[in-house]
Amino acid sequence: MELFAAIVLFLSALFNVIAWPRFFARVSSDPRARDAAGATTAFYRVHAVLLAVALVLAAAAVIAGLLLVIV
């Protein structure tokens, strides 16, 4: 059961690392990401925070998965 949990954590981390940066690239090129002066908007900043949280959670999932496998 611990091996299954570790695999799920690794897959979750992999998904976050693959999907979120690609999604953020699309957000960055979206017209709503910048105002007329070229400054970032709340739309951009919210998605940047979501990306950061997803990548931190991915790192935590990898660490938790490794702890499950090693310990």
Asked if residue 56 has pLDDT above 90, the reply is yes
Q: How many CA atoms lie within 13 A of 66 on its CB side?
A: 7
Residue 71 banded pLDDT, cuts 50, 70, 90: confident
Give per-residue pLDDT as tens, 2-55. 999 999 999 999 999 999 999 999 999 999 999 999 999 999 999 999 999 999
Torsion sign (Cα): 16, 22, 26, 27: positive
Asked if residue 70 has pLDDT above 90, the reply is yes
Map out the domains of the chain as residue ranges: 2-70
